Amino acid sequence: MKLLFCGDVVGRSGRDAVKRFVPRLRAEHGLDAVVVNVDNASGGFGVSGDTLRDFKGHQIDVLTGGDHVFDQKDAPSLLGNETWLLRPHNFPPSVPGSGCKLFTLPNGKKLLVLHLLGQVFHREYLDSPFTCADAALAPYKLGGNVDMILVDMHAEATSEKQAMGHYLDGRVSAVVGSHTHVPTADARILPKGTAYQTDCGMCGDYNSIIGFSPEGPMQQFLHKYRKVRMEPASGNGTLAGAIIEVGDNGLATAITPIQLS
- Cβ neighbours of 179 (radius 10 Å): 26
pLDDT of residue 3: 98
User: SS3 letters for 131-159?
Assistant: HHHHHHHCCCCECCCECEEEEEEECCCHH
Rounded CA-CA distance 196/207 in Å is: 26
- Tens digit of each residue's pLDDT (9 = 90 or more) over 160-201: 999 999 999 999 999 999 999 999 999 999 999 999 999 999
- pTM, full prediction: 0.95
State the catalytic residue, choosing from 68, 122, 154, 181: 68
Domain positions in the chain are 2-260
- Known active-site residue 68: yes
- Tens digit of each residue's pLDDT (9 = 90 or more) over 202-236: 999 999 999 999 998 998 899 888 778 889 999 99
Which alpha helices (H) appear in the chain, and where do they start and end?
11-29, 49-55, 75-81, 129-137, 158-168, 215-223
CATH of 2-260, one of 3.30.2130.10, 3.40.50.300, 3.60.21.10, 3.30.420.40: 3.60.21.10
Which alpha helices (H) appear in 30-144, and where do they start and end?
49-55, 75-81, 129-137
